[in-house]
Amino acid sequence: MITDILDKIPTPCYVIDESKLIHNLEILKSVEDKTGCKILLAQKAFSNFNFYPLISQYISGTTASGLYEALLSHDYMPGAENHVYAPAFTEKDMSEIIKICDHIVFNSFNQWQTHKDTIKNCGKKIECGIRINPEYSEIETDIYNPCFTGSRMGVTLDNFDDSLLDGISGLHFHTMCEQNSDTLERTIKIVDEKFGKYLKNMKWINFGGGHHITRKDYDIETLIKCIMYFKDKYGLQVYLEPGEAVALNAGYLVTSVLDIVKNGIDIAILDASAACHMPDVLEMPYRPYIIGSGQPGEKPYTYRFGGNTCLAGDIIGDYSFDKLLNIGDKLILCDMAIYSTVKNNTFNGIALPSIASLQKNGSFKILCQFEYNNFAIRLGNDRIYYGL
């Protein structure tokens, strides 16, 4: 357990728990095995390529949100399926994507027409799809809702031009976020009602992401029923592309207390930052669980945790503990494998956390550490920066 090796962990540091990652992957593989569907890692949630060889032992491949993620899959998960979707592709990016991807999903028929000849003349077979917008979603927060009014994501039924389907072999929809399979069951009914007549001539359908398949209360049997519905009715290959479900609860962010100040409440300043190292804490927002903590006031000593940046709102949350905290104490924030390493930043010149692995045999391994050069190179790459 991570608490057993806490003294070995430099801070701040993301720690990926290999055993928990394998637990998730075994669940996903069981869905593939039972249904014949293909599950893809959505790299937008988890792109730690050191684990790609492990992941490829369990699921069918990856999906990318652009060229660089597609290249990452090509380089570190060779032989696996490599899918890509973006709201729009440049001609330059498409010239590279056609070399490495086997599935390309377009956001509009305009984009399909723009790149159609490039794909036809590339000398290899590439499956092409159109993302549809069924105009149905149960996501309450618009920033995460691809189907909110005026969304740029996908083609609505009113704008679906079946005269342009030549060369299109699949449809893709993505309407979910951290939801159970009952939401999917309601969603596919809408998709079938609106787009079923086009599915008759397709080879595959992609259910997108947002499926919390590895969550404890997730109803896998309903997911299986949804997959088999499209397989049985239309003879389609079904794809799912979860991101969170692959690495859900499989990582931590370990941080140290740098100082404790008072302003109506005890405030602990950490060497980890919500703004820099876990942006979703502010964007969602959500309150990550810290091992050994309780809700504010639940335990004798309550603290507010803030990051070491100048942003006044760089606040992780309020937590209570059985004992007083001291400067130098380490804290373990949970569920930090997803949307953390892929979204972090160096605002204020704050260093990026190290990335490490807690291996299934219990050993601890630092995978990479970041220095001043990693900050400076992003702001001007005309020379190499070494600092002091």
Q: Which residues of the chain have pLDDT under 50?
A: none
Q: Does the residue 387 lie in any domain?
A: no
| One domain for residues 224 and 113 | yes
Rg (CA), the chain: 22
Q: Look up the domain containing 277 and give its range.
A: 2-15+250-379
Q: Please, are residues 9 and 364 in contact by the beta-carbon 8 Å criterion?
A: yes
Give pLDDT, residue 32.
98
| One domain for residues 124 and 157 | yes
Q: Please, are residues 50 and 77 in contact by the beta-carbon 8 Å criterion?
A: no
Q: CA–CA distance from 159 to each of 15, 114, 194 (Å)?
A: 45, 17, 12
Give pLDDT, residue 285.
86
Preceding peptide of 53 cis, ω within 30°: no
| One domain for residues 121 and 165 | yes
Give pLDDT, residue 385.
55
Give pLDDT, residue 284.
86
Q: How far apart are CA 125 and CA 101, in angstroms?
A: 10
Domain end call among 198, 217, 247: 247
Q: Does the residue 29 lie in any domain?
A: no
| One domain for residues 152 and 279 | no
The per-residue pLDDT for range 117-170, each reduced to its tens digit, is 999 999 999 999 999 999 999 988 888 899 999 999 999 999 999 999 999 999
Q: How far apart are CA 51 and CA 70, in angstroms?
A: 16
Give pLDDT, residue 382.
63
Angle at 335 between CA 53 and CA 68, to 5 degrees: 45
SS3 of 282, please? helix
Q: How far apart are CA 113 and CA 99, in angstroms?
A: 19
Angle at 299 between CA 295 and CA 302, to 5 degrees: 70
| One domain for residues 255 and 313 | yes
CA nearest 279: which of 143, 117, 88?
143
* pTM flag (> 0.85): yes
CATH number at residue 227: 3.20.20.10
